[in-house]
């Protein structure tokens, strides 16, 4: 019985992670950042967007990933890309995290997990206390998913996005 339950949970997670595909429109969102400003997918129209979901503010892996994006921000913007982080932490936590590490990009507060769920990047069943998965979506200027990084590497995610942007743009 336990094996059947574990298999069903695995199958459900495998199915949801495969639901979003390269080339399809990215799911919309409307979330407040660390400064209380609301951002939607349309705000980034005409630009490349590295939308990365992360587990929790100020934890070792999430800090490494955020700081890599911070350190690479000039290369990313030179390639026409913007970076946005999303977790289920609230705006106040995001503000502290962004200030502590001088993060120059929006951190969106998805406290209900609704956006993470739309991107198939929510761990668990959507009940309170769930965390985001570490997934990144490179979204093209037309709002379509250009690349998906499941279980993104905290140390390599930013560099992978830069490499892929260069390839996709033919640079």
Q: Which of 41, 62, 109, 116 is an active site residue? A: 62
Assess whether 67 carries a catalytic annotation. no
Q: Which of 142, 157, 144, 131 is nearest to 55 (CA)?
A: 131
- pLDDT (tens digit, 9 = 90+) per residue, 109-151? 999 999 999 999 998 766 667 899 999 999 999 999 999 999 9
Q: In sequence order, which residues have a C-beta less than 8 Å from that of residue 160 and are 6 or more positions away?
A: 149, 152, 153
Whole-model pTM?
A: 0.87
48 token code pair = 């490349």
pLDDT given at position 12: 37
pLDDT tens digits along 16-38: 344 799 999 999 999 999 999 99
Mean pLDDT of 37-52: 97
Res. 55: pLDDT tops 80: yes
Q: Is residue 55 within 8 Å of residue 61, measured between CB atoms?
A: yes
Q: Which domains does the chain have, with CATH numbers?
A: 2-169 (3.40.30.10)
Average pLDDT, the chain: 89
């Amino acid at each position: 019985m336990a094996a059947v339950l574990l298999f069903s949970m695995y199958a459900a997670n495998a199915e949801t992670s495969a639901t979003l595909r390269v080339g399809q429109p990215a799911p919309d969102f409307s979330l407040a950042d660390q400064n209380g400003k609301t951002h939607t997918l349309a705000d980034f129209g005409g630009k490349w967007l590295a939308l990365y979901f992360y587990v929790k503010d100020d934890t070792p892996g999430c800090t490494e990933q955020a700081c890599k994006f911070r350190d690479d921000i000039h290369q990313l913007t030179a390639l026409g890309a913007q970076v946005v982080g999303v977790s289920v932490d609230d705006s106040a936590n995001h503000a502290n995290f962004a200030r502590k590490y001088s993060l120059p990009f929006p951190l969106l507060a998805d406290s209900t997990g609704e956006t993470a769920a739309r991107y198939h990047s929510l761990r668990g069943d959507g009940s309170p206390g769930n965390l985001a998965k570490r997934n990144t979506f490179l979204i093209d200027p037309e709002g379509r998913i250009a690349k998906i990084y499941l279980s993104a590497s905290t140390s390599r995610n930013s560099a992978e996005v830069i490499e892929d942007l260069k390839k996709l743009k033919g640079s």
